[in-house]
Structure 1
């Protein structure tokens, strides 16, 4: 990978599409505390992530290791009797070669509503390391003065609180899922060139997904329509509250995320 701005690198990974259009939908706002946080699956989960061409060629392979744990607000004194103030989600991406390299991410979200507090990312590829950091505040997302980064310092204004789009695999199982339901979720991907916006996700129904070990899992099927024939689908286990699989189609190419271990 060339030494490019980290935001441009992310723009190459994540598709660009229009936000939710006005219609009768269930809006999931951060301040409404609609997420069912008792479902949050702590521990480590590993995903195989890859692209696939129409001809079946698989490229751009990664192993994503994602760990969810309870923690405390950064800087707060830790006492045994205190309830945790936050969840900490760490990611370690292992690329298939030196060009893809590896990426380490630490995201801190508020314990009571999954609102993002802090996000740090480090990408090492082709012998070069790029870092970026973000503080989520009430009215903005800014690069903190206390963290050294290689990415340009940025400030994104917020009209209202937003969720961290990097944590969609952890967030989707927490939604009030029901067949036929469409939900608008305000997402922002730290460092990417898209401003925060609401996007529509629809529960298409249920499916008994065949797993790698031959068993089946009863899943909700959650989908988003990117427009012009492009889409993404997630299979979410109804009992374990984990995303087993994602299938995405965008501009002639498929992208998959497959849960390997949990």
Structure 2
């Protein structure tokens, strides 16, 4: 919320990454589970080509807030299979024949990625560690968020400097600052120089709202 407000909207995002296989292709499998207050709000399973990181498969589950009159909570499920070139939305395949607004928007966004190289924007925290960092360099990344209405777009991220992040036991961690700006939005990612992992995000929206991501180490 405001820059100095209490942290009343905390979420925990658990991400498990492992080497895997998808239809005979060596892959990186990433599973995500997002907790919000007292329940799971979002579950994701993704497979990306282990050599190029191009998406092979992406399935998302979102909990939709129930209306006052609803007796059960609704969900949205999307499945994008890039090998078989299919998209499913809430259990049914989507195509050019669809007229439902949301399904049509998801399909049109998917078609923007066809026959192009792109990376999964839903896996940005796993993508940034792969970049060759150097002060002042700008990476223009073809990002697409599968299963959403957002079309493939080229997004610029610039290494705007370096800084030290204070970690556990007051350790000082040298970081690259990777910055992305668009109208009303500024994001600064802190990337460890030693491991290339994303340790922190600072996001400012319209100079009024603030969001932070902090990587936590814990035992499950």
Question: Structure 2 residue aligned with 1:68, among 17, 23, 27?
Answer: 17
What's the offset of the Cα at 1:125?
5.2
Kindly indicate whether residue 79 of structure 2 is the aligned counterpart of residue 133 of structure 1.
Answer: yes
Show the counterpart of 2:123. Answer: 167
Q: Deviations over 1:217-259 (max 9, x none)?
A: 111110011134x310001112222110001111220111101
Kindly indicate whether residue 134 of structure 2 is the aligned counterpart of residue 188 of structure 1.
Answer: no
* Structure 1 runs of 4+ with >6 Å offset: none
Pick closer, same or farther for the CA change 1:137–1:162 going to 2, 3 Å.
farther
Name the SS of the counterpart of 1:220 in structure 2: strand
Show the counterpart of 1:143. Answer: 87
Question: Structure 2 residue aligned with 1:96, among 20, 24, 37?
Answer: 37
What's the offset of the Cα at 1:149?
5.8
Q: Deviations over 1:139-158 (max 9, x none)?
A: xx64159x936984742222
Partners of 2:44 and 2:9 in 1: CA distance: 19
Partners of 1:93 and 1:54 in 2: CA distance: 23
- Given the two structures, how large is their TM-score scaled by the length of structure 1? 0.68
Aligned partners of 1:53 and 1:254 also within 8 Å: yes
Partners of 1:197 and 1:125 in 2: CA distance: 27
Name the SS of the counterpart of 2:134 in structure 1: coil
- CA RMSD in angstroms comes to 2.5
Q: How many residues align?
A: 197
Q: Deviations over 1:169-190 (max 9, x none)?
A: 0100111110010111010112
Q: How does 1:2-21 map to 2 (within 5 A)?
A: none
Show the counterpart of 2:47. Answer: 108
- Given the two structures, how large is their TM-score scaled by the length of structure 2? 0.80
**Gapped regions of structure 1 (runs ≥ 5):** 1-51, 77-83
Kindly indicate whether residue 155 of structure 2 is the aligned counterpart of residue 211 of structure 1.
Answer: no
Partners of 2:200 and 2:81 in 1: CA distance: 30
Q: Deviations over 1:81-114 (max 9, x none)?
A: xxx710001101111135xx42110010001110
Q: How does 1:69-84 map to 2 (within 5 A)?
A: 69-74=18-23, 76=24
Aligned partners of 2:78 and 2:88 also within 8 Å: no
Q: Deviations over 1:100-135 (max 9, x none)?
A: x42110010001110111000112355333211112
